[in-house]
Structure 1
Amino acid sequence: MIAAVVAVWGAAVARTVAAGTVVPWDSKNQVYAFFRFLAAAIEAGATPFWNPFHYGGHPSIADPQSLVFAPLFVLWALIDPAPSLRTFDLLVSSHLLAGGLALALIGRRAGWPAAACVLAAAVFMLGGVAAGRLQHTGMIVSYALLPAVLLLVDVALDHRSTAAALAAGVAAALLVLGRNQVALLLCVVVAVAAIVRLVAAPRPGRFLTSRLGVLAVMAMVALGVAVVPMLLTLQFAALSNRPAVTLADALAGSLHPANLATLWAADVFGTHGTYFGPGGPASPDLANTDDSFNYLFVGAVPVLLIAWLGLAGGGVVRRGCRLWAAVAALALVYMLGRYTPVFPLAFAHLPGVDLFRRPVDGAFVLVAALAPLAGALLAAYVRDGLPQNRMLPALLAAAVVTGPAAAAVAFAAASGQAGHAAMALAISAAVTAVAGVVLVAGARTGRRGLAAAVVAAMAAAELVGWNGAFRLNAEPRALYAALEAPDPADAAVLVVVERAVAEAQAAGERPRVEVIGMGGPWQNLAMVRGLEATNGYNPLRIGAYDRLVAPGEENWRFGFRRFPPSFSGFDAPLARALGLSILVLGAPIETMPNLPQVPDAELLLAGPRAWVYRLPGARPRVELRARGSGTTSAEAAIGPGGALGAARLVAWRPDRIEIETAAAEAATLVLHDLFYPGWIAAVDGAPVPIRPADILFRAIDVPAGPHRVVVRFAPLASANLLAALRGLAGH
């Protein structure tokens, strides 16, 4: 069984490797860059808690997508300072393998035959969201943890095992630390599954009483592991640019009912070619969805089992199926969002739902439920044979299948693609018919085990064939070469940029760069190359910085850059205070939309891949000012200040800065790094407070004479955690 699960997973991975592809988009442009920073920080002997190469400085420890609390990635970073694109993909995919194996073991413990275990694992590892949304690394990792948590909880309760309880608590904490909507929904699933497990025991009261110690261990461990990271994330959220989510925003992330046809017909909307289905431009009321969100393909065999054996045959109400049938139904209602009255009620009344803007994320829960449900139904077939179908349940099952199919054809007809949709449905119907014949033949000949193995193999082949290395989860590795091994054109640009940065650093400065219009892989390339950047690609940013600098979430094209009054151009006082010295642009600066005024800049490279400019007038990273010279207006405050002596950087790493000062009188040291909770300072070893300077930066009072100032990021210090807790209580 285990070998078969690994073989299915390996076949899908092999397709990706053989095609020379990698998981695209956010997986590389955002999360892989974080992984490279994590590895580089560890190699440098620093903590990866503060990322200076991203939006002028970023609290990685509080960012759910930073991988700081993802054990497998951290362990790999300890041995590999520059992980490859392929390594990253294999690490992500290995989480799915672990989830599939855990689900197979759950089935084995329930007495399923090997074929049912493999079917459930294959659907879990390769079905729907596990393929279509493989780019969303954090959600994939959260999704993959669910079976492990369920398995460990079951083992702990069955055997009253303290070791299993400890492991279950850690696994549950890691699920919580996904800190995304998928993690929230899956935590609810775990809680419900545990309650069902307790209630279903022969003597529930006695069973619960005898397991109170085990439950207490699980709860305490989960709380102990998760509480501090969660507190830091909540601290960041309160200070971030994250807007409040309205019901209208959330409803725009609903699943169109016609997309349910993709559960069994992979290409019904051209997902494997040119997508023409609901979402995005085709459906303005579903603007927060696209083809990757809407792709649900788990295969014809699981849908056949659920419709025929489950709905028509009443299998969904059997023990072992009831929980997953109910979870799947609730997830489906949640995903549909605007198309049922349930989601608006949940948004208004259930804690946590109003924090997220895409009910379609419930698809992760749907697939996580369909996988064990299909496995349990196939196991019931092997054990009991085909059920007796009744009229009303059979009509319900037929409606469940034909309704979405008809809606899909109708939607496709509006764009002249009805024939394509009908053909995709016909292909799925043919696979369904073959699987049905196999199951009937197995029941009649008494070879149900063999029939189950055949249909499980069919399902696995269909999943590998449709969901392995296709448009939504595989693009040529060369498209992301800039992040790993830049091609000659990109390498030539980086030589110019890094030479200019090195020259400034040799003069005692730490210049910042801004990259615009260079395409997706360049959005966070500064993080990979160790260049301090004023922008990047991440939906989460420090709120005050985002308002004043307005770097935007994406910089792959010029049109996303806005210039508010506080940052009126690349030569604005705030730009100079940030130390912005190098611009890397995908076209000449004079062609940039929205730029109020072309700055007086030195052209270092004039295409054809990039235009690189050096900006004059950047302020020093550290400077001394007269006491009391700080103001609360960023634009007014960033002036020349009084020169009261000398301040220079003598040591720097991401989480620690050392500065020597020599002031003629008591002065204020201004460090042009972002003010954020958790940074602490000491002058000659004596702790001193840090206060805001010019809203964004850090100010530290220093006495007259020579002194050494050490500034370091200590987010786990008790003072910061207590402050975060007080701030949370205040809200």
Structure 2
Amino acid sequence: MLGGLSLVLPALFFFRATFTSDVFLAGDTLRAFYPMRAYWAERVSQGGFPDWFPYDGFGQSFPAIFISGVFHPTALLHLVLPLGVAVKLTVLVCFPVAFLGTVALLREWGVPRAGALFGALTFTFSGYLVCITNNPTYLLAASTVPAALWGVLRFVRRPSAARLAVGGGLLALVAFGGDAQAFAVTQALGVLVALTEPVTAPGTWGRRVGACLLLVATGGLLAAPQLLPAAALVMTGEPGARSLAEAQDFSLHPLRVGELLLGPFLTDPVGVRGIPELAVRKLIRTGAFTRAWVDSLYVGTPAFVLALAGVGASWRQRRTWVFVGAWLLLLALMLGSLLPVYGWVYQLLPPWRPFRYPEKLGSFLVLGLAVGAALGWRRCLGPGGNPRAVIVAGMAVAAFCAAVVLGESVGGLWTRGYVLPHWPDAPAAAIEGLSGNVVRMGGLATGLALLCAVLAWRPRLAAGLVVIQWAALSWENGPLYQVSPAEILETPPPLVERIRAASAPDEPVRVNLMVKGYGAPPLKGYEFKDRLSLGQVAVLAPDTSVFWGIESAASYLPGRSPRLGRLMNDPRRWAFELAPRLSTPFTVTRTRELTGGPPPGTRVVAVDPLFEATLLGHPDAPARVHLARPECVATADDAVKRMTAPEPAAPGTAIVECPEPLPVEAASGTGGVRVTRESPEHFTVDVEAAAPSVLVINDAYQPGWTATLDGAPVPILAANVAVRAVPVPAGRHSVVMRYRTPGLVPGVALGLLTLGALGAAMVVSARRGRRGARGAERGR
């Protein structure tokens, strides 16, 4: 029955996706997940492996970008299904995985079937998991966490080679989902779960610690193909947060903690299907962003009541307070910039620094409440339980929620006490909507809490809690997920055709974006977030241009070269001077920014009046690969100063960081090149140089590239701060460039060796088991 429910309930909950051709498209589903999966499928279907991703920020390592999830098994769906269908199925399959993993974990803890079903509903359809469909990378990891903790629990209770393989494999699957922080926290929670298990025999504690270490190491080794490339990137680049302030941009506002109990009272569930940007900016802004990470954290009032009752009924048990303390620590970390805790961890634990966005920990917060509610069910509503604790908790929660409703209805406690002081010019409609949300949700929470108390009074009726929990989650969280017409993905925007018409066929072309915000013009038949997605696609926001085979000089993914970031400090100069010098022949900007005409050296190629975007051309942008006269400097700082000097280097000159002087003659930089591209990671350049020169390749200067000149290794030098150059003597030569992600080969080797060792251990264990059984049989 539970297996069937794991398929039926998500299909019903996400009926707007299940029973239509619409696809998930909101947020980073469009900006990051679709482009990465589209690129993965293109390369793998051609028999290659996507080491290098050329479509973001002049190129970066694809496996080293942790969020690429290049090794996750759901990527295989893209080899047999259309892009939109494959992503939809990837998203939808996360919910049966979350459901069954939570059931298995709770059953391992002895929770009755009804309680396990309740806990699984709570986690699977919590506001966090429902709304993080706007970023499947984090959904894939979050949905696997309960199963991973189940694997940990099974192994530490009765270690075996098979259980080690399952537990380690599930931990690795969290990493392969693409969320490094979730992997680290899951490992830590696994250790916590293991060490809080009761010790039943002398000497068990030492074996328990050893089992924990073995399982954590196994999970890390199996995930090595993802972990080692990411570690190499951390050591050479700037993935994730570059400062504590940036790390905490998405922090949970304390006001939103109330959503766990009351519901998503800040949302507009019909128009925006989420928290409007203006409400974020005025009421709950905690960092540089003006949108919410997720639009709901609601776990259902019945879950809150049961979790509270479970704590009350088990307050004498030390393990209860260990779990409560861990949950409160996660909440403190999620509050980010509003408490010093995240800063302490950032300063004291250097491996934590690449992580960012404290709100990403929301999946663990709602999982903690789901587990707490299920354990409360076992403690209070199971055989020999204490239902009085549920009655008391239900009455207490109902009294609190009723006070919230009364305070807003009579005295405007919410709107007059908080909203208007923070948003004095709030429109009347916004005030009415925010007030109505609190009154309606508070009233519903009051009724649900009282109903919990009533049902607990008669334990035979406790199964009704499952029904009201499902109804509450469907009612409040169901409207908030977003699906959009697939045509948004399938129809090239007008600017694409103009770029192709103005570019050489079969040659890679790069476009820069100088648009800060994305509009949502009124379009009949499209919801707000549909129009927002259309606006991003229309201006070729990174990395949506992947769909049309156009590279982006702008950057969105975290593996961007830090050298490139140094050139982007002045956005206008980057867009109209520096990026064109690095072979970026097009820029998209807002039409309203060009009231005084196009900048010097540019021309208007096309205008999109609907989305108010103008495509500018840079006629003087050099070819992607060309010969240049070297101008040597000693360091990267010198290169930045020279590159950004008021008087730029002469045309045909490259600023090269030279370990020793390069020969220069009058004819240096002249000659011809012919490029043969076998793949983004492997191409050949036939050079005919009139004099000693440098061959400039206007792609990112990153570790992992190697070059040969006429078959002999040759150094790759940094040119114009951010791109690559190879010295070439006069005459005809062949330069071959190859790329391999640093750490990838050792990571794959470690993963395969670990897998082989586990397989061998399982075979040996099975043989010993059979021998033992035969010996016991002969003894009888």
Which bin holds the TM-score, normalised by the shorter protein?
A: 0.7 to 0.9
* Aligned CA distance change for structure 1 residues 21 and 102 (closer, same or farther; 3 Å): same
- The alpha carbon displacement at 1:703 in A equals 4.5
Measured in 2, the distance between the counterparts of 1:250 and 1:549 equals 20
Distance in 2, matches of 1:2 and 1:330, equals: 33
Partner-residue secondary structure (3-state), 2:455: helix
2:54 is paired with a residue whose SS is coil
Distance, in Å, in 2 between the alignment partners of 1:390 and 1:297 is 20
Contact 1:64 1:138 in 2 (8 A): no
Tell me how far apart the structure 2 counterparts of residues 606 and 396 of structure 1 sit (CA, whole Å).
58
Return the alpha-carbon distance in structure 2 between the equivalents of residues 181 and 211 of structure 1. Answer: 23
User: Partner amino acid for 2:464?
Assistant: V
Deviations 1:507-554 (A, max 9, x none): xx543223455722331222122112212534652221122145xxxx
The residue aligned with 2:524 is none
Which residue identity lines up with residue 187 of structure 1 in the other structure?
Q
Please name the residue that 1:138 is paired with: 137
Q: 1:426 to 1:169 in 2, by over 3 A?
A: same
What per-residue deviation string (whole Å, max 9, x for no partner) do you get for residues 476-502 of structure 1?
A: 336xx44x211xxx454433322333x
Which residue of the partner structure matches residue 761 of structure 2?
A: none
1:134 offset after TM fit, Å? 2.8
Deviations 1:106-129 (A, max 9, x none): 222333322212111111111131
- The aligned residue for residue 624 of structure 2 is 621
Q: Structure 2 vs 1, CA of residues 278 and 357 (structure 1 numbering), >3 Å: closer, same or farther? A: farther
2:474 equivalent among 464, 487, 491: 464
- Mapped pair 1:535 → 2:540: no
When residues 688 and 527 of structure 1 are mapped into structure 2, their CA distance, relative to the original with a 3 A threshold, is: same
- The 1:495/1:318 distance shift into structure 2, 3 A limit, reads same
- TM-score w.r.t. structure 2 length? 0.77
Matched, 1:548 2:567: yes
With 18-27 and 343-352 compared, the bigger mean Cα shift is at: 343-352
Which secondary structure state, in structure 2, belongs to the residue aligned with residue 383 of structure 1? coil
> Which residue of structure 2 aligns with residue 729 of structure 1?
none
Kept in 2: contact 1:670–1:700 (CA 8 A): yes
CA–CA distance in 1 between the matches of 2:267 and 2:158?
Answer: 49
SS in 1 for 2:674: strand
Contact 2:126-2:473 at 8 Å conserved across structures: yes
CA contact (8 A) 1:39 1:78 kept: yes
For the pair 1:655 / 2:668, whether they are aligned, the reply is: no
Which residue is 2:671 aligned to? 645
Describe the shift of the 1:513–1:363 C-alpha distance in structure 2 as closer, same or farther (beyond 3 A): closer
**Change in CA separation of 1:687 and 1:166 when aligned onto 2, cut-off 3 Å:** farther
Q: What letter corresponds to residue 165 of structure 2 in structure 1?
A: L
| C-alpha distance in 2 between matches for 1:230 and 1:406 | 52
Q: Which moved more, 1:522-531 or 1:228-237?
A: 228-237
Q: 1:582 aligns with which of 580, 586, 597?
A: 586
Q: Is the 8 A contact 2:391 2:452 kept in 1?
A: no
Residue type of the partner of 2:462?
A: A
Between 1:540-549 and 1:425-434, the stretch displaced more is 540-549
Contact 1:280 1:286 in 2 (8 A): no
Query: In the alignment, does 2:423 pair up with 1:412?
Result: no
Matched, 1:685 2:711: yes
Q: Tell me, yes or no, if the aligned pair for 1:257 and 1:404 is still in contact at 8 Å.
A: no
Q: Compared with structure 1, are the counterparts of its residues 59 and 341 closer, same or farther at alpha carbon in structure 2 (3 Å cutoff)?
A: closer
1:286 Cα offset (Å)? 6.1
- Pick from 597, 602, 605 the counterpart of residue 603 of structure 1: 605
Q: In the alignment, is the contact (CA less than 8 A) between 1:143 and 1:183 conserved in 2?
A: no
Distance 2:31 2:369 in 1: 31
What is the letter of the counterpart of residue 96 of structure 2?
L
TM-score, scaled to structure 1: 0.82
**Paired position in structure 2 for 1:437:** 454
Do the aligned residues in 1 keep the contact of 2:670 with 2:690 (CA within 8 Å)? yes
Task: Name which of 495, 509, 512 aligns with 2:510.
Answer: 512
Give a deviation string over 1:381-439, Cα, whole Å, max 9, x none: 13224344599999987898789889987333334544541232011211222233222
Q: Equivalent residue for 2:753?
A: none
Q: Out of 469, 477, 498, which is 2:500 matched to? A: 498
- Aligned counterpart, 1:382: 382
Distance 1:683 1:266 in 2: 64
Instruction: Confirm whether residue 562 of structure 1 aligns to residue 571 of structure 2.
Output: yes
Q: Which amino acid aligns with 2:484?
A: P
1:190 CA displacement: 1.9
Give the aligned CA root-mean-square deviation in angstroms. Answer: 3.7
**Could you tell me how far 1:35 is from its partner in structure 2?**
1.4
**Which residue number corresponds to residue 490 of structure 2?**
485
Q: Is the contact between residue 255 and residue 294 of structure 1 (CA under 8 Å) also seen in structure 2?
A: no
CA 688–170 in structure 1, closer or farther in 2 if over 3 Å, else same: farther
CA deviations over 1:46-98 (Å, ceiling 9, x no partner): 3222111222212222222222243322x223445x511x4313303322321
- Does the alignment pair 1:426 with 2:443? yes
Aligned partner letter, 1:461: A
Instruction: Provide Cα deviations, 1:200-247, integer angstroms capped at 9, x if missing partner.
Output: 2302623643894x656534433323446434334434423765433x
> Which of 222, 226, 235 is residue 225 of structure 1 equivalent to?
222
Partner Cα distance (2:250, 2:594) in 1: 38
Residue 265 (structure 1) aligns with:
262
Moved more, 221-230 or 25-34: 221-230
Match of residue 661 from structure 2? none
- 1:455 maps to 465
Structural mapping, 1:38-49, within 5 Å: 38-49=40-51
Distance between the aligned counterparts of 1:136 and 1:705, measured in 2? 52
2:700 is paired with a residue whose SS is coil
Given that 2:253 and 2:286 are in contact with CA atoms closer than 8 Å, whether structure 1 keeps it comes out as no
Report if aligned partners of 1:665, 1:704 keep a CA contact under 8 Å in 2.
Answer: yes
Residues of 2 paired with 1:88 and 1:294: CA distance?
Answer: 21
Query: Structure 1's 148 and 204: CA in aligned 2 closer, same or farther, altered over 3 A?
Result: farther
SS in 1 for 2:256: helix
Give the direction of change, closer, same or farther, for the CA distance of 1:583–1:229 in structure 2 (3 Å limit): same
Alpha carbons of structure 1 residues 376 and 50: separation in structure 2 relative to 1, 3 Å: same
- Which runs of no fewer than 5 residues in structure 2 stay unpaired? 421-430, 519-534, 654-667, 748-780
Q: Assess if the C-alpha contact under 8 Å between 2:682 and 2:739 holds in 1.
A: yes
Give the match for residue 3 of structure 2. 2
Deviation digits for residues 597-649 of structure 1 (CA, Å, limit 9, x no counterpart):
24342635675565444431221222234577678333545631434432210
The equivalent of 2:778 in structure 1 is: none
**Match of 2:490, SS?**
coil
Q: Distance in 1 between matches of 2:310 and 2:51?
A: 49
* Letter paired with 2:714: V
Cα–Cα, structure 1 residues 477 and 317, in superposed 2: closer, same or farther, change >3 Å? Answer: farther
Kept in 2, the 8 Å contact 1:678–1:720? The answer is no
Contact 2:264 2:295 (8 Å CA) reproduced: no
Superposed, 1:87-166 pairs within 5 Å as: 87-166=86-165
Shift in alpha-carbon separation, 1:43–1:284, aligned structure 2, 3 A:
closer
Residue ranges of structure 1 left out of the alignment (5+ in a row): 551-560, 722-731
Residue 666 of structure 1 deviates from its aligned partner by 4.8
SS of residue matched to 2:53: coil
Q: Contact 2:691 / 2:730 at 8 angstroms: preserved in 1?
A: yes
- In structure 2, do the counterparts of structure 1 residues 711 and 622 end up closer, same or farther at CA, with 3 Å as the change threshold? same
> One-letter code of the match for 2:118?
L
